[in-house]
Amino acid sequence: MNIVRGLIGGAVGYILGAALLMTIRVATGARAWEVESVSAGAWMFALIGWLLAVGVWRYWAREWFGLELVPYTTTGWRRYLDFDTDHKVIGIQYLVKFLTMFFMAGLFAMLMRYELMDNGEALLDSGRYNAIMSLHGTMMVFVAVAATVGAFGNFVVPIMIGADDMAFPRLNALSFWLIPPVLIALTVSFVSGGYDTGWTGYAPLSVESDVGGLFFNLAFFTLGLSSIIGALNIIVTVVTMRAKGMNWMRLPIFVWSIFVTSILSLIFTQFIALAMLMVVLDRTAGMVFFDPASGGDPLLYQHIFWFYSHPAVYIMILPAFGITLEIISHFSRKPLFGYKWAVGGLLGIMGMSMFVWAHHMFTSGMAEALRKPFLASTELISIPTGMIFLSAVGTLWLGKIRLELPMLFALAVLFNFLIGGITGVFLADVPVDIQLQDTYFVVAHLHYVVLGGGIFGLFAAIYYWFPKMTGRMMNDRLGKIHFWWMMVGFNVTFLPMFIVGLQGMNRRVADYTPDLVGTNRVISMAGFFLGTSFVVFLYNFIYSWIKGAKAPANPWGARTLEWQVPSPPPHENFEVPPIILADPYGYGEPDSDHADLGIGTLPKIQETVEA
């Protein structure tokens, strides 16, 4: 209902915007209708129309015009379809939305792997292959950038810091409701022929691509808007809404990771908006940013794109690091080792991430003198990243490790990211990168870090917090089947990609030299195997949500605040504001206590035994 209203609002906005633009065009003597120019401008109006209709007007904007707000009365599952401001509802909205996007993009990958089973063109011709490949990459990047922050940054961060909601609940809802238009734009792009530029959309190719390319730009732009707003909200929340006693060195590491991620988003996302805007202007307004014949510069696009997109890869991985460390501490029943170093690692990655972007451009023809500095800065980023591993390894050592599901995924993040990270070091080495740039070695690297790190981290988070979010337990057996299936499938799919890359298979091609057919078969088969593992997950996810065993408040015996409130948490999270006494990692420390929840002092349920 709400969504229908939003769609109508969006359509009305589009029509109004289009009418306005066409009037201006006629006034300046141009042809009234030109699909790209009109659509680009009208998109902004469509966004506003959509947002107003979907809830901004009823629950928010009426106020500005001195009107009474409409009372919010939606209850039950319908809240998930409405402009709800409860951070827990929004967290689940994000999760479901991005899981859907993940599965769609995964199905595209299956098509690609089908095509790549053999050399020559089978199912897809080059044009269609490129369109599907580009959409796969784009959607997956969107998932990786926004899924964990959106879902768990919203759901658990406020509870973990002892707040009752985000600092700006309505803004929070707004940033979520900017996501459906992203999916709509991508769909429009796909049905109008797609775009064949890859997710990186390099100019001048992207300036020349069909209408689909325009909607890709608009989608990325809109996602950027949503990220910026969401990031701002999280930063303010963490800065101002922490419970009494929750000082910075007591924050759970996951909160730190989301906080740092948000700073990166807040600062750098503007550059992707700018890059997309420049392409749109070149396409629709006759501008010449990237046209060398008129004084433009094609490399400018790459610099701006990577100035965002390299920090963005850390936006993808830092939340996964946070989850991994969080889970490893709780499931090793040991304090997080070197907490300060882990925080330092996160901050170090944040600080350095803005000085390495040109490692994507070693063969781009940029000035030779830039190669060495960017080689050096890129290699140096291993040091703060290593600090995350330092903390993980130190925590596991001598722990009392419980290999529950979330722990399995967290350990998998370490394993996969180790391979992904070290191959990143190879790529940063210019002599080696000259050969490997734009080959499957890069494709393998990026899947190891983004999928093996980021997405495995997302799944760790899902298995970890599912009981808290839904009040029900996931089936443990199916979960373990899913884990091993996915882990094996993943490694068998992507390890051989390093090999084909080294052998000289370049990326973004539907066709390749015959000697690589054998390995590609293996990759495709393993890819299908990996794909089907998600059927198990989906079944488990949906079934457990409806019919799973009731979850206790604290099924894992973890100490952070969200586990001290019922599952699922009540609307206001805490009965009374909690008072934080120490950090949440006091495992094994007699008498340590994370928080006073204000519901009476309790006898400690601890006993000390001599070993």
Partner 1 sequence: MTVTDAPPLEHGVSRIKINRIGLWLFFLSEAMLFAGLIAIRFSLLGTEVDEAVSQSIGLVITVILLASSYTAFRAEHAAHKGDQAAMVQYLWATLILGTIFLGGVAFEWYEAFMEFPPGTAFGTVFFTMTGIHAFHVITGLIFLTVLIRNAKAGRYADDSWPVEAGVKYWHFVDIVWVFFYPVLYLI
Partner 2 sequence: MSRYSSKAGRPLHDVVAFRIVSGGEQESNTRNRLVVVGVAWLIATVLGWWAVTAYDWHPFGASREARITDEAFDLLMLMAVPIATFVLVVIGYSLLRDRDRGQDVDGPPIRTNRTFVVGWLAVTTILSIVVIITPGFSGLDELRAYPEPDLVIDVKGERWSWEYTYAESGVQTRGTLMVPIDTRIMFRISSTDVIHSFWIPAFRIKMDAVPGIITTTMVTAEKLGTFESADELRVQCAELCGVGHARMWTGVSVVTEAEFDAWLEASAG
Q: Which residues bind partner 1 (CB under 8 A)?
A: 59-60, 64-66, 69, 71-72, 83, 85, 162-170, 228, 232-233, 235-236, 239-241, 243-244, 266-271, 273-274, 277-278, 281, 285-289, 294-297, 300, 303-304, 571, 577
Query: Smallest distance from the beta carbon of 450 to ligand HEA, in angstroms?
Result: 4
Measured in Å, how far apart are the chain's first and last C-alpha atoms?
62
Partner in contact with 432, chosen from ligand HEA, partner 1, partner 2, none, beta carbon below 5 to 8 Å by kind = partner 2
Instruction: Give the 3-state secondary structure of residue 550.
Output: strand
Partner in contact with 141, chosen from partner 1, ligand HEA, Cu ion, none, beta carbon below 5 to 8 Å by kind = ligand HEA
Site for Cu ion contains 310 (CB under 5 A): yes
Question: Per-residue string for binding with ligand HEA, 385-424, x by CB under 6 A?
Answer: xx--x----------------------------x--xx-x
- Rounded Cα gap, residues 309 and 321, in angstroms: 19
Helix (H) or strand (E) holding 580: strand 579-580
Q: Which two tokens stand for residue 591?
A: 């008498």
Neighbours of 341 (CB within 10 A): 18
Helix (H) or strand (E) holding 227: helix 211-240
Q: Which of residues 551-580 bind partner 2 (CB under 8 A)?
A: 552-557, 559, 564-566
Query: Smallest distance from the beta carbon of 386 to ligand HEA, in angstroms?
Result: 3
Q: Which of residues 304-323 bind ligand HEA (CB under 6 A)?
A: 313-314, 316-317
Partner in contact with 496, chosen from Cu ion, partner 2, ligand HEA, none, beta carbon below 5 to 8 Å by kind = none
Phi, psi of 563 (to 5 degrees): -85, -5
**By rule CB under 6 A, what count of residues binds ligand HEA?**
62
Nearer to ligand HEA, 2 or 363 (CB): 363
Peptide bond connecting 566 to the previous residue in cis, omega within 30 degrees of 0 = no
399 closest CA partner among 254, 560, 592, 587: 587
Using CB under 8 A, pick the residue from 508, 517, 519, 543 that binds partner 2.
Answer: 508
Residue 553 contacts residue 561 (beta carbons within 8 Å): no
Query: Smallest distance from the beta carbon of 360 to Cu ion, in angstroms?
Result: 6
- Rounded Cα gap, residues 611 and 591, in angstroms: 19
Please identify, among the stretches 14-22, 266-274, 303-311, 387-395, the one whose residues bind partner 2 according to the rule CB under 8 A: 387-395
Nearer to partner 1, 59 or 541 (CB): 59
Partner in contact with 340, chosen from ligand HEA, partner 2, partner 1, none, beta carbon below 5 to 8 Å by kind = partner 2
Nearer to partner 2, 167 or 381 (CB): 381
356 closest CA partner among 344, 336, 373: 373
Partner in contact with 566, chosen from partner 1, ligand HEA, partner 2, none, beta carbon below 5 to 8 Å by kind = partner 2
Partner in contact with 443, chosen from ligand HEA, Cu ion, partner 2, none, beta carbon below 5 to 8 Å by kind = ligand HEA
Partner in contact with 136, chosen from Cu ion, partner 2, ligand HEA, none, beta carbon below 5 to 8 Å by kind = ligand HEA
260 closest CA partner among 329, 168, 351, 357: 351
Please identify, among the stretches 91-99, 144-152, 174-182, 547-555, the one whose residues bind partner 2 according to the rule CB under 8 A: 547-555
Nearer to partner 2, 26 or 398 (CB): 398
Using CB under 8 A, pick the residue from 425, 478, 492, 525 that binds partner 2.
Answer: 425
Question: Per-residue string for binding with Cu ion, 102-141, x by CB under 5 A?
Answer: ----------------------------------------
Site for Cu ion contains 303 (CB under 5 A): no
Site for Cu ion contains 472 (CB under 5 A): no
Please identify, among the stretches 60-68, 154-162, 430-438, 538-546, the one whose residues bind partner 2 according to the rule CB under 8 A: 430-438
Question: Per-residue string for binding with ligand HEA, 372-391, x by CB under 6 A?
Answer: ------x--xx--xx--x--
Nearer to partner 2, 63 or 121 (CB): 121
Inter-residue long-range contacts of 544-548, CB under 8 Å, 24+ positions, other chains counted: 544/466, 544/470, 544/472, 544/473, 544/474, 544/475, 545/470, 545/472, 547/472, 548/470, 548/472, 548/473, 548/474, 548/475
Query: Smallest distance from the beta carbon of 61 to ligand HEA, in angstroms?
Result: 35
Helix axes 211-240, 126-148, angle to 10 degrees: 10
- Rounded Cα gap, residues 190 and 207, in angstroms: 17
Instruction: Give the 3-state secondary structure of residue 84.
Output: coil
Site for Cu ion contains 242 (CB under 5 A): no
Burial of 366 (0-12, 13-18, 19+ CB in 10 A): middle
Residue 548 contacts residue 473 (beta carbons within 8 Å): yes
Query: Smallest distance from the beta carbon of 161 to ligand HEA, in angstroms?
Result: 25
- Rounded Cα gap, residues 198 and 134, in angstroms: 4
Q: Which two tokens stand for residue 545?
A: 């949500």
Nearer to partner 1, 305 or 563 (CB): 305
Site for partner 2 contains 513 (CB under 8 A): yes
Helix (H) or strand (E) holding 376: helix 371-380
Nearer to partner 2, 521 or 555 (CB): 555
Question: Per-residue string for binding with ligand HEA, 441-470, x by CB under 6 A?
Answer: -xx-xxx-xxx-xxx---------------
Which residues have C-beta within 8 Å of that of residue 245, sequence separation ≥ 6? 579, 580, 581, 595
- Rounded Cα gap, residues 325 and 389, in angstroms: 9
Residue type, 195: Y
Residue type, 332: S
Nearer to ligand HEA, 284 or 385 (CB): 385
Neighbours of 394 (CB within 10 A): 19
Instruction: Give the 3-state secondary structure of residue 579.
Output: strand
Q: Which residues bind Cu ion (CB under 5 A)?
A: 310
